Amino acid sequence: MTTYTAFDHHAVVANGDMAAMIAAQREAMPRGVNLLIYDDLTGQVRDVDLRDAPPPSRGRPKLGVKAREITLLPRHWDWLAGQKGGASAVLRRLVDAEIQRSAGSRSDHTRQTTTYAFISSIGGDLPDFEEASRCLFANDWMGFATKIAAWPKDVRDYALMLAREQT
């Protein structure tokens, strides 16, 4: 399940699934506050649509199934056709196996880009931002932690959480 963290300026106001983010944004609206909601996996800002829910889509929406297009070479389709359960089931098993294999071992590049997406969005004007960014992309995790030590607590803690190997 994807989780999110909502910030009001430099303070965390909510954590949880998208339903929690919608509730937090609705609560903030009367105060004229537009929360910044971050995807905990990517560090990217996510928009919250407060309008009525769209009509159900194709697939199995209660299971979170989304129909999307993928492109494979003919040899891939041929191989998939010969597998038990059909192409979708095989692809889900392959992806699940890779997720399990790589669980808890996000690459340095992923950690860097995720963390940078967050800090550049919320902390570009904070002290030592440039130096912290340099440390981040140099894999100097101790230097990064030192450079952001004076940042607001919630921003600092979230950035460090994103920079850790496991989220």
What pLDDT, on the 0 to 100 scale, is given for residue 96? 78
**Which pLDDT does position 23 carry in this prediction?**
93
Q: Is residue 57 within 8 Å of residue 67, measured between CB atoms?
A: yes
pLDDT given for residue 52 in this prediction: 60
CA 45, CA 50: separation in Å to the nearest integer? 16
How many other C-beta atoms lie within 10 A of the C-beta of residue 49?
10
pLDDT for position 58: 60
pTM across the whole model: 0.69
Residues of the chain with pLDDT under 70: 52-65, 99, 101-106, 165-167
pLDDT value for 8: 95
Q: What share of the chain is helix, strand, coil (3-state, %, to 5)?
A: 50, 10, 40
